[in-house]
Amino acid sequence: MTAPVLQVKDLKTQFFTDDGVVQAVDGVSFDLFPGETLGIVGESGCGKSVTALSILRLIQEPGRIVEGQILFKGSDIVTMSGEEVRDIRGKDIAMIFQDPLSSLNPVLQVGYQIEEAIEAHGKVPGKEAINRAIALLKQVRIPSAESRVHDYPHQFSGGMRQRAMIAMGLANKPSILIADEPTTALDVTVQAQILELLRDLNRDLKTSIILITHNMGVVAGICTRVLVMYAGRIVEEGPVERIFKNPQHPYTWSLLQSIPRLDSDRHDRLLSIEGLPPDLIKPPRGCRFNPRCKFKIERCLRDDPPLMDVGPEQEAACWVTMRRALSPNGEPHV
Amino acid sequence: MATAPGLVTPEAYGDTLAREQTSLWGDAWRRLRRNRLALVSTVFLVLLILVAIVAQFWTPYSYFAEGLAPVYQGPTAQHLLGVDDLGRDILSRIMLGAQVSLKVGIGTQVIVIAVGVVVGLIAGFYRGVIDTVISTVINIFYGIPDLLVALILVLLLGRSLAIIIFAIAFTQWMNMARLVRGQTLALREREFVEAARAGGAKANRIIFRHILPNALGPMIVQATIGVPQAILFEAFLSFLGLGVPPPTPSWGAMAADGFHAIRISPHIVLAPAIALSLTLMAFNFLGDGLRDALDPRQKR
């Protein structure tokens, strides 16, 4: 395989609050390869957004990256100067956010904001900037882009705003686009259009995409590989088909079981994951998922499981794994 | 709004649903026009400004010529608002007084905006120690009685229009600084600021393109409310005899001139007092109107 465009190595991001140190991201490592679409899934507060923000060094006080490396094309973003990071932002690595309405400045024209994204990395003559903004709006399939470029965000629909955000993200042809819950604030039909757009852009422009979401359906739609995060850690990682067909971590398994299915009997109860995500100031001993795990064994309370191979290109951080948990002669549960 | 004909592809929705081109300011202006009181106030203030400009070139009589009519004489056909205790034409003096009041009102706000915005933006954007220092200074200024400070400044630096403007601004800048600081603190956490940062925007671009324009509405309201405060302050200083030096007429000084004779010829006090009240009211109504008009939550 080709060399990864981004390597995150043992990333630890912590928030120093009055109540204690929140270990929001605790030793996350992964590689992102050129042209791939990597999904990061997990429930709220599992550290997926903090991981994304860490990559662009957008973590603000009282948060801090305390350990680890983020290698972009060989240089470490964590130790770069502020000016070097600023130059990477939006040019090499772009990011789009969950709520496109609040991510656009209400008092500036959409086109102006796209031009601004272009001009953040070098002067461009005004006329050319407008033309590029129009071209970008066309690329994200906004109708009558020539006149829409002068609209204000409130004149756009939700889907169009997210398209405009994507246009801003693509303004400098970044090698990586980080999309943090890009469809969560949108209608289901619009969600599909946005995902399709992202997939097409990924295919046509060869931009690597990191897609952060809590929605397994979104992952299934466009990702090639997926990381499942829980309580600041990666608990499972692998190609999408394998994760969906053969999840090995009980958390991944539960997430997949909790998706409502059209073909299931309507009297079947949906599986919900009991309990709450752990307190990241004082995470539980042993495996962090153990308080909510139905398959835990004694060892889970004592030892913290590392990521271990559980199949081709698939890793899970679990002492039990679903293979054993679901086999009739599996090991006894606690 | 256009009605969607028959079958519409999702792409075409964009066109049919396009709203009329209105900016934030367009909306605000539309709402302001519907506010009768604010509109009347605006008209009044425009007239006042015209009067002040005209007074520069022409007044019915010279504003300092004494003995134009018997002293304390009330309104007559020659002197529509009467004459004062030295026989000077009150209308001419009111017209020039408008100049003084407007210069003071607007002059102070220019200084207040310049200082308050810079200080507020710095404190709100950089937070931390800088903010603590600035906030402490602001609180100290709030603690000092402003009349006392202004009096001392005028006594120390001398009585001139420029120094009075400076002295009033000196007691008022904190209002704007505090407002802008609060706005900045709130705006810097907004997602579009984070999005701009994620796009590689430099700090000054974030401050001046993303934060400042979004704080403009409250700033305009604050400045509009600050104008009458400054005008009243100057009138008060002049009333105490510490305003602009005579013979330049100031409404406050004019009221003071007639104060001893308020029982026999009240017109000497009433004319400047009414002019002052109307002006203050107009600015306050306009400020209120602007506050409503610029409030993005109002979608009337």
The total number of structural domains that make up chain A: 2
Q: What mean pLDDT comes out for the span A256-275?
A: 75
* Strand intervals (E) in A158-285: 176-180, 208-213, 225-230, 233-239
Are the beta carbons of B198 and A108 separated by less than 8 Å?
A: no
Cis before A62? omega within 30:
yes
Tell which of A185, A202, A223 closes a domain: A223
Same domain, A78 and A172: yes
- What pLDDT is attached to residue B73? 78
If you average pLDDT over residues B188-198, what whole number do you get? 90
Q: B1 pLDDT exceeds 50?
A: no
Closest in B14, B192, B200 to A91, CB measured: B200
pLDDT tens sequence across A133-149: 999 999 888 989 999 99
The string of pLDDT tens digits covering residues B4-42 is 444 444 444 444 444 444 566 777 788 888 888 999 999
Predicted structure pTM score: 0.80
**pLDDT in the model for residue B9:** 43
pLDDT at position B298:
53
Dist CA A26 CA A306 (whole Å): 12
Residues A218 and A110 placed together within one structural domain of the fold = yes
Residues sharing a CB contact under 8 Å with residue B182, sequence separation 6 or more, in sequence order: B120, B124
The pLDDT tens digits of the residues spanning B61-70 come to 888 878 787 8
A196 and A250 fall within a common domain: no
- Please answer whether residues A30 and A234 qualify as being in contact, where contact means their C-beta atoms are separated by less than 8 angstroms: yes
- Residue A334 domain-assigned (yes or no): no
Q: Look at A50-59, B166-175, B247-256 and tell me which has the smallest mean pLDDT.
A: B247-256
Looking at residue B140, its pLDDT comes to 94
Residue finishing a domain among A223, A246, A265:
A223
Residue A320 lies in a domain: yes
Query: Which residues have CB under 8 Å from B297's CB, separation 6+?
Result: none
Say whether both A169 and A208 belong to one domain.
Answer: yes
Q: What is the mean pLDDT of residues B106-111?
A: 95
**CA angle at B271 for the pair B287 and B248, rounded to the nearest 5°:** 85
Final residue of a domain: which of A201, A223, A245?
A223
CA distances for A33 relative to A3, A44, A74, B49, B123, angstroms: 7, 26, 13, 67, 42
Q: Which helix (H) or strand (E) holds B159?
A: none
Instruction: Assign domain B23-294 one CATH number from 3.20.20.60, 3.30.460.80, 1.10.3720.10, 3.40.50.1460.
Output: 1.10.3720.10
- pLDDT band of A29, cuts 50, 70, 90: very high
Mutation for A interface: B1, B21, B191, most A CBs within 10 A: B191
Which chain B residue has its CA at the smallest distance from A59's CA?
B194
Residues A78, A165 within the same domain: yes
**Residue numbers in B near A165 (CB within 8 A):** 195
Distances (CA, A) of A29 to A66, A78, A88, A237, B273: 14, 14, 21, 11, 75
- The answer, for A146 touching chain B at a CB cutoff of 8 Å, is no
Cβ neighbourhood burial of A245 (10 Å; 0-12, 13-18, 19+): exposed
Give SS3 for A37: strand
My answer on whether A150 and A52 are in the same domain is: yes
Question: Would the pLDDT of A25 be above 90?
Answer: yes
Expressed as residue numbers, the domain containing A177 is 6-223
Structure tokens that stand for A292 in this block: 């909510």
Residue A249 within a domain = yes
Please state the rounded mean pLDDT for residues B94-101.
91
pLDDT digits (tens, 9 = 90+) for A78-129: 999 989 999 999 999 999 988 888 899 988 899 999 998 888 888 888 788 8
- The interface residues of chain A toward chain B in range 172-231, judged by CB-CB distance below 8 A, are 193
A120·B15 Cβ contact <8 A: no
Considering the domain architecture, whether residues A167 and A280 belong to the same structural domain is answered as no
Structure confidence at residue A314 (pLDDT): 94
ipTM entry: 0.81
Asked if A107 and B192 come within 8 Å (Cβ–Cβ), the reply is no
pLDDT band at residue B297 under the 50/70/90 scheme: low
pLDDT at A177: 95
Q: Which of A105, A148, A152 to mutate to probe the B interface, most B CBs <10 Å?
A: A105
> A135 CB near a chain B CB, below 8 Å?
no
Instruction: Give the range among A59-63, A72-76, B1-5 with minimum mean pLDDT.
Output: B1-5
Taking contacts as CB-CB distances below 8 angstroms, the residues of chain A near B212 are none
Confidence bin at A328 (pLDDT 50/70/90): low
> Residue B249: is the preceding peptide bond cis (ω within 30°)?
no
Indicate whether A238 and A202 sit together in one domain.
Answer: no
In angstroms, the separation between the Cα of residue A50 and the nearest Cα of chain B is 13
Tell me the C-alpha distance between B167 and B223, whole Å: 17
Q: How many CB atoms lie within 10 A of CB B60?
A: 14
**A275 in a domain, yes or no?**
yes
Domain identity same for A193 and A263? no
Contacts of A102 in chain B (CB under 8 A): 190-192
pLDDT of A330? 52
For residues A120 and A181, membership in a common domain is answered with yes
What is the structure's pLDDT at B23?
63
SS3 of B13-28: HHHHCCCCCCCHHHHH
Residue A163 lies inside a defined structural domain of this protein:
yes
Whose CA is closest to A208, among A239, A179, A243? A179
Task: Extract the tokens encoding A308.
Answer: 């271990």
Residue predicted with more confidence, A212 or A329: A212
Name the residue facing A121 among B194, B200, B296 (closest C-beta): B200
In the predicted structure, residue B111 carries a pLDDT above the cut 70: yes
What local confidence, expressed as pLDDT, does residue A179 receive? Answer: 93
pLDDT digits (tens, 9 = 90+) for A209-260: 999 998 888 898 899 999 999 999 999 999 999 999 999 999 999 888 887 7
User: Distance (Å) from the C-alpha of residue B81 to the closest C-alpha of chain A?
Assistant: 48
Please tell me whether residues A219 and A240 are part of one structural domain: no
A333 falls in which pLDDT band (50, 70, 90)? Answer: very low
Do A68 and A185 lie in one domain? The reply is: yes
Q: Is the dihedral of CA B234, B237, B242, B247 positive or negative?
A: positive
Smallest CA-to-CA distance from B138 within B179, B114, B113, B174 is with B174
Is A1 within the bounds of a domain?
A: no
> Sign of the CA dihedral B116, B122, B125, B128?
negative
Write the pLDDT tens digit of every residue in A159-211: 899 999 999 998 888 999 999 998 888 888 888 888 998 999 899 989 999 99
